[in-house]
Amino acid sequence: MTTVTSSLSFHGAAASSSPHSILHLNFDEKDQSTGSILYASNCIVNIASAQSLHLDNESDDIIYNVRQTIRTNTIAKADWARSITAMSLISPLNKQDASDFQILICAFSDGTITSFLIQQDVSDKRKYKWKEYVISGQTEESTTENDLAISISDIDGFFYKLPNSSTLCMHLIVASAKGVHKLTSQINVDDWVSGSITDAKVAPFEIIGNYPSSTVKITPQMDNQIMLSVGTALPRNNRIHFYTLERNHLYQTLSENQDWKHQGSVFGHLDWISCLDWMISPLTNQESSFEGGMLASGSQDSKIRLWNFHPSKVSSSGDDVNDDESMEDDDNSDDDSVDEDLIEEGEARMYVRYTNSNGENVEIAVTLEAILIGHEEQVTSVQWRPNSDKPCLISSSMDRSILIWMEEDGEDENNIIQYAHINEGLGNVWVPITRVGTAGGVLGGSIGSSLLGFINVLWFDGGRKILAHGFGGALYFWAREESGENKQDTVVQSSPLEKWRASPGITGHFRGCSDLSWEVTEGKYLLSAGLDQTCRLWMQLPDASCIDSSQKLWREVGRPQVHGYDLNTVVCIGSQKGEMLHRFVSGADEKEARAFDAPVETIRLLDALELKSSGSIPNKDERVDRAFIPSLGLSNRANLADAMEEGAEVGLQKTEGEKNVQEKTVNTKTLKNLLPGERDLGVASLWPEVRKLYGHQTEMVCLASTTIEGTDRTVVASACKARDEENAAIRLWNVEKNVCLDVLKNGHKSTVASLAFSKDGTLLASVGKDRRLCIWKYNNEIEKVNFTLSAIVEAAHKRIIWSADFLSNQLSKSSVLATGSRDGTVKIWTISDDAEIKTLCQFSPVSKSSNKKVEPVTAVAFAPKIVTTGESICAILALGLENGLIELWSIPLDNDNKPQHIHSLPKENCHIGTIKKLEWRPTRQSGKCLTLASCGVDHGVRLHSINIS
């Protein structure tokens, strides 16, 4: 009996381009260095955990790697293209209510809201288990009645446990163009099973404010009050509205009223308010009175404002502090006559009034502390530094900078605002003390080569590390350089003298990934092509302490192509004889295919990452050092004269990564620096274009490559979009000579969707939208490569055929081919030497769609390993489905037994959208562990470790 186990080795995807898409998850308050990074990509939540990279006994580099993903069970509404637009880890009102779990809230662009109760794995703190509670949206089994049906811009909330009960109550605030809404729900935490799904008990949406809003922030640290801040998204005169809610009102049923009281608003920002963050004095807690706080607000007007909250009056319950209504304003106020210049410095902009837990009436004055001017474009996020000895703020902007702000010290060394008395500011000027970020990238280039700006930034590791989110989806890390003396300090000494060092980030496609291709010899690296107009190179990093290859780290170490059209297909080419290695051909939404050759710097980097000593580089005389993006062009060029202006520091000087590669020494001090950052990936890791393959009349669809056995002939086959027989022709290419070898006609009548060569290169299978299966056979002629149409199967499937793949282990004279179709069936064919085609068997995947119909098969791939079960010899076939799931099947080759479903990859390890390609890593080893690569429309590239025994 065949036994199969699987695990996710790596998931590569860029973060969504929404400002509220990254979080830090930590279960150990005493050790802030632990924890993981959560970030959203499409409809997936990625868990990036810290992993040590050991190269020898002296090395211990920390790199974040995604080996777990959270896949929602909600489904998109009809005609909605959705993604996660906001995430929040909501806080418990009482810490004892959440001793071993946290609640993650995810909001989507179609109005769906779902929650995940997350627990840490006891055996491995880098792993987590979770259960989903759907709050608003559709699943395959049910649909909730609550529905905003609009993209949600931000979400925040809190939760608490009902007395003497296992029921948790969640109180959520939702910001959108429709206004600010309140949503309350209840979940039972006793019956949860990891990975399961349950509908939460939800009360109807209630509107709090009917003005468009872009950001919300809740702080529960204000006596017996919970403070809500809302930033508006109006054309002009934007305000921050404030609401309060008494804690005592919360411990009621969902049907009873829990009203937020509108306290007023402050104005000043000229454009949308994009971000808010609170800093509350640590002297304030649930048992004591409010001691002061400060709110930072950022806006698209490029300014940051600091609002100081300080108690101005506390009186007995008999006194009335609510007589003055002059500061109250309407929720929809849009008064053009308001003039900020008429307000005196230090004058209260509004008052927050409430009754505290002691029955005293409290009045809190709100004043403008400072206006921070330093960014040149819209401010996208702000956050106060935790555990800091003095107030310290970080901000990100679309001007491609991240600034750290502090208040200038006065002449007296004691004249410093203390964290515990932030309401007693001395009026000193706030200035940026440090700038991190990057000015790299090509100005005017595509997003694949240009940063465009940062949309989020946050502190983690107790304020010792910075995580930033670029518009193109890349995540950037910086760590503070510390001596051994202050590494364990709980209080961070904020200072202009701090030094920050960049660490390897997280990158990936930020739109759908359309194709994959392994390096041809033994899968040294993986290439992926995406609709984000980039081709990316992924490679496994060395780790001396890791014997199991499935546990080793993978990283994007190159970006060979940054194009101006969406890339649809890619294939690696080359052989030990004839065609040079480290080349590939790509096809995009254009009429020609393009061939690229690895530069010398890339080959040096690949050798360094394989811990190889620098030796002779094959075909070095025919390769260039590096490539450049040309001005107003689509292709990478091999000389600087044709390059777009990248700046003196980019175009004329070598990057740090290139310098490290050329040192020719692989050691613990340089290997971490060898990993290129986002700037180097988009500019310095390009491959030069060496050929253009002209001939097709419409956009490219698919490519395939082979080296014909017994020869040194490397052949590339290509197909394009077609509505007639003429454009449905397949072209064969000799890339080295830039020659079209043959045009294969009279086979298909419309678009060819997939091409596949047999292992020896003598057979070419083509399938497509016309439901035909065509077999083209190689004629062994000395002068030229020639394929002729040997067989056609009309209506091989009932619907479009998406994928085809040959079995690489040929055990008999007949070749074995698998095809997968939209009709939800897989067919196994045998092809004899005289090109006679027979159906060996057919079957359907076990996974069913929401309407209980068979799920369409969009990708098939035979494993490079044959297994023996009893007296039967079986091939292993991987199926990729339209719902993103992956199944493994055992296909008998020597008898009439039926195919057997032997394994389904765990749902959380699979894609959430259509799988575009499956490809097994070629290997010359006979081990049990194999690597399966997959990509899909959910932007992800996944590497699965498959153990077969």
Q: For residue 627, what pLDDT band results from cuts at 50, 70 and 90?
A: confident
Q: How far is CA 835 from CA 138, 326, 728, 778, 936, in A?
A: 49, 90, 22, 11, 33
CA dist., res. 470 & res. 398, Å (int): 9
The pLDDT score that the predictor gives to residue 348 is: 83
Residue 483, pLDDT > 90, answer no
How large is the average pLDDT for residues 512-530? Answer: 94
Query: What is the residue-averaged pLDDT of the chain?
Result: 83
pLDDT above 90 covers a percentage of the chain that reads 50
465, amino acid identity: K
In 3D space, the residue among 555, 516, 512 whose CA is nearest the CA of residue 921 turns out to be 516
Which tens digits make up the pLDDT trace of 812-855? Answer: 668 999 999 999 999 999 998 887 899 999 999 998 876 678 89
Q: For residue 288, what pLDDT band results from cuts at 50, 70 and 90?
A: low
Q: How far is CA 85 from CA 74, 151, 206, 400, in A?
A: 15, 8, 21, 21
The pLDDT score that the predictor gives to residue 927 is: 61
- DSSP per-residue codes, 175-240: EETTEEEEEEEEEE-SS--TT-EEEPEEPPPEEEE-S-EEEEEEEEEETTEEEEEEEE--SSS-EE
Residue 414, pLDDT > 90, answer no
How large is the average pLDDT for residues 103-108? Answer: 95
In 3D space, the residue among 674, 504, 475, 689 whose CA is nearest the CA of residue 594 turns out to be 689
CA dist., res. 237 & res. 211, Å (int): 12
The pLDDT score that the predictor gives to residue 925 is: 56
The pLDDT score that the predictor gives to residue 370 is: 92
Q: Decide if 49 contacts 62 (C-beta within 8 A).
A: no
The pLDDT score that the predictor gives to residue 912 is: 93
The pLDDT score that the predictor gives to residue 644 is: 41
The pLDDT score that the predictor gives to residue 194 is: 62
Q: Is 902 helix (H, G, I), strand (E, B) or coil?
A: strand
Cα torsion 899, 904, 905, 908 to 10°: value is: 150
The pLDDT score that the predictor gives to residue 635 is: 72
Of residues 339 and 636, which shows the higher confidence score? Answer: 636
Residue 366, pLDDT > 90, answer yes
The pLDDT score that the predictor gives to residue 910 is: 95
| Measured distance between the N- and C-terminal CA atoms of the chain, rounded to whole angstroms | 8
The pLDDT score that the predictor gives to residue 423 is: 45
Min mean pLDDT across 149-163, 790-804, 879-893 is at 149-163
The pLDDT score that the predictor gives to residue 498 is: 87
Residue 451, pLDDT > 80, answer no
What's the predicted TM-score (pTM) here? 0.90
How large is the average pLDDT for residues 555-576? Answer: 91
The pLDDT score that the predictor gives to residue 236 is: 86
- DSSP per-residue codes, 576-623: SSSSPSSEEEEEESSS-EEEEE--HHHHHHHHHHTT----PPTTGGGS
Residue 653, pLDDT > 50, answer no
Min mean pLDDT across 177-186, 581-590, 674-683, 717-726 is at 674-683
CA dist., res. 876 & res. 714, Å (int): 27
Residue count (the chain)? 949
Which tens digits make up the pLDDT trace of 371-388? Answer: 999 999 999 999 999 988
CA dist., res. 826 & res. 868, Å (int): 22
Min mean pLDDT across 545-554, 613-622, 851-860 is at 545-554
Which tens digits make up the pLDDT trace of 15-71? Answer: 999 999 999 998 877 666 678 999 999 999 999 998 877 655 445 568 899 999 999
Which tens digits make up the pLDDT trace of 319-344? Answer: 554 444 433 444 444 444 456 656 66
How large is the average pLDDT for residues 643-670? Answer: 44
**Radius of gyration of the chain measured on its C-alpha atoms:** 30
Q: For residue 811, what pLDDT band results from cuts at 50, 70 and 90?
A: low
Pairing type for strands 752-757 and 739-744 reads unpaired
Q: What is the DSSP letter of 463?
A: T
Min mean pLDDT across 100-104, 434-438, 441-445, 751-755 is at 441-445
The pLDDT score that the predictor gives to residue 28 is: 77
The pLDDT score that the predictor gives to residue 545 is: 55
How large is the average pLDDT for residues 551-555? Answer: 83
Of residues 528 and 32, which shows the higher confidence score? Answer: 528
Q: Is 449 helix (H, G, I), strand (E, B) or coil?
A: helix
The pLDDT score that the predictor gives to residue 651 is: 38
pLDDT above 70 covers a percentage of the chain that reads 81
Of residues 707 and 552, which shows the higher confidence score? Answer: 707
CA dist., res. 579 & res. 74, Å (int): 48
The pLDDT score that the predictor gives to residue 413 is: 43
In 3D space, the residue among 488, 459, 493, 419 whose CA is nearest the CA of residue 30 turns out to be 488
Q: For residue 494, what pLDDT band results from cuts at 50, 70 and 90?
A: confident
Which tens digits make up the pLDDT trace of 890-931? Answer: 999 887 789 999 999 999 999 999 999 999 999 755 566 899
Which tens digits make up the pLDDT trace of 788-804? Answer: 999 999 999 999 999 99
- Beta strand ranges found along 26-95 (DSSP E): 36-41, 44-53, 61-71, 74-75, 84-92
Min mean pLDDT across 80-94, 278-292, 374-388 is at 278-292
Q: For residue 99, what pLDDT band results from cuts at 50, 70 and 90?
A: confident
Q: For residue 188, what pLDDT band results from cuts at 50, 70 and 90?
A: confident
Residue 650, pLDDT > 70, answer no
